[in-house]
A = this chain, B = another copy of it.
Amino acid sequence: MSTATISRFPVPELEDLPEDIRSQILAVQEKAGFVPNVFLALAHRPAEFRAFFAYHDALMLKETGKLTKADREMIVTATSARNQCLYCVVAHGALLRIYAKNPLVADQVAVNHLKADITPRQQAMLDFAIKVCLDSASVGDADYAALHAQGFDDEDIWDIAAITAFFGMSNRIANAVSMKPNDEFYLMGRVPKPRT
């Protein structure tokens, strides 16, 4: 896939990017083996790129709270499917499979979280995330109580809401600019990694 097809907008060459962004992209490439298209598509707007990934990291790399990395990617996958965002369902579904060490769960929560093989705690987490995604105006005390009953505290609830909200933004941008996921994501986490 040429970069010409990953977004409706121009995709900058690595060497034309500001140093901090180029470094960040090279680091991702080093770790993942390829550059996820969201980095290239958003690099079209350096100031927005920096804020986007700072926000992303504050929510997704956060070391406190009771949400596991798999929980967070599960929220992203389930809510991005409701927003019909191809990029995020495919890319974060891959991360979910990897973090959860479960090759099936991403497809399950993307299609219908109520039929997924997940815990009641995760069901409650996704019920709330989907409500924030689709009808945040109606969120209220009863929603907080349902999560408290599953062991989440208020800070966890902020995390769920903020992750949902952040990726709701990401979904809308990706849909509006027709961002395409890298082919690599589709298969990631579905088959055991070859031993080296």
Contacts and interface: CB of A to CB of B under 8 A. Distances in A.
Interface of A: 8-9, 44-45, 47-48, 50-52, 54-55, 58-59, 62, 81, 83-86, 89-90, 103-104, 107-108, 110-112, 114-116, 132-133, 136-140, 144, 154, 157-158, 161-162, 164-166, 168-173, 175-178, 180, 183, 186-187, 190-191
A172 B136 contact: yes
A51 B58 contact: yes
Highest count of chain B CB atoms <10 Å: which of A48, A59, A84, A183: A84
A11 to B, nearest CB: 13
A186 B50 CA distance: 33
Contacts of A158: 9, 44-45, 176-177
Contacts of A165: 168-173, 176
Nearest to A46: B58
A164 B190 CA distance: 29
B84 A111 contact: yes
Nearest to A62: B47
Given A107-B89, A136-B171, A161-B172, A84 B112 contact: yes
Contact of A154 (B9, B55, B172): B9
Contacts of A132: 172, 175-176
Given A45-B58, A132-B172, 9 more contacts: A45-B158, A50-B54, A55-B55, A90-B107, A110-B110, A114-B140, A132-B176, A136-B175, A137-B175
